Structure 1
């Protein structure tokens, strides 16, 4: 039992493997890595985006949405996608409450993120915050890349293997929306919101 439990977790620096498959840094086709649920979430990104914005506007956050400009415009992707390796400032916005009683619009202060090369892929790591995304960027289409990873919560120091816990899986589209500005669009996250958007700008 101990060995099985150990296989469910990986240190943050080694969060690369899929249970029963080759390390994800060796697989460059995201469709061969993503779970069925994540493929569905990614395909419904526009539906999630519009639903989330509608909920937030009905909740009185129209001015907040407009203030964010391209960041919360579903059609803001301008390509090409590639994100340079290095450290980034990441700002998370949660839009559209998943359940009654939750807030429809939350903007968090800047966190620290890092993009680094790992084999044939780039790895994304959110270094600070209570919900920390860890995973890989895969080739997507002409405008965007695909992010597949997991959530590290609270004071945890290890990331679960992608695919080992449905609720921890995260999936999103990585898009360039301006000079030195990218976003990760996460449709239908398993916690709290209808849409999460991570804004990425190079750290000074």
Structure 2
């Protein structure tokens, strides 16, 4: 059963969750979906998210970026989550901020220009599609229910000029896992603890394009 569920996130952002046939295919609690789908590595990353967040902030401040961290406001506040987490379907501008680094040569704070991204409508299981539409690194995946204050993002990373999308769970280095939270009236974020590339923690800011 577990091996089957690990492939539940299909390559394209518009895909549906794959479920086994029969009555057991209906998950009794929506908030359990992500735990059934997530890899062991991603469950560990999400479990330790706050420790990762605090450590990454500390690294950025020690690296001389206290002012940059302060200017980001609620985006880089570990406790900023507000009620009613799901973002409405539509086009957004997504800005990526990276904190910490894998080695001493990397900057401890990097903020990229906003890129177009898109949030889909919730399906019957309240899962929401998400994808970056441009940029050198492009997350593709789904927001899955967890609590009233946050959802879970599980997906994969497209790089460079790639056209296809790696299936979630097939390549640990490309797997992405994080929490989706509302941090303002028209502002959301995805927190990605211990990403596999470049940084200690990533925060992606989502604001409506219109």
Contact 1:125 1:132 in 2 (8 A): yes
Gaps of 5+ in 2: 1-6, 21-25
| CA–CA separation in structure 2 for the residues paired with 1:68 and 1:13 | 29
Runs ≥4 in structure 1, deviation > 3 angstroms?
A: 10-18
Mapped contact 1:92–1:198 kept (Cα < 8 A): yes
Question: 2:63 aligned to 59, 63, 67, which one?
Answer: 59
SS in 2 for 1:82: coil
1:49 counterpart residue number? 53
Q: Tell me which residue corresponds to 2:178.
A: 172
1:4 corresponds to: none
Partner of 1:183: 189
CA contact (8 A) 1:15 1:160 kept: no
What's 2:141 paired with?
Answer: 135
Deviations 1:117-145 (A, max 9, x none): 36332101011111100001100113100
Specify whether residues 30 and 65 from structure 1 end up closer, same or farther in structure 2 by C-alpha distance, changes over 3 A only. Answer: same
CA distance in 2, matches of 1:74, 1:133: 21
TM-score, structure 2 as length reference: 0.85
Does residue 117 (structure 1) correspond to residue 99 (structure 2)? The answer is no
**Which of 27, 36, 43 pairs up with 2:40?**
36
Task: Supply the distance in 1 between the matched residues of 2:17 and 2:170 (Cα, whole angstroms).
Answer: 10
Whole-Å Cα distance in 1 between the matches of residues 13 and 205 of structure 2?
22
1:94 aligns with 2:93: no
Return closer, same or farther for 1:165/1:75 CA change in 2, 3 Å cut-off. Answer: same
SS of 2:57 mapped into structure 1:
helix
Q: Retained in 2: the 8 A contact 1:70–1:76?
A: yes
Change (3 A) 1:180 1:14: closer
Residue 16 of structure 1, CA deviation:
5.2
What value does the CA root-mean-square deviation take over the aligned residues?
1.9
- More displaced 10-residue stretch of structure 1: 50-59 or 114-123: 114-123
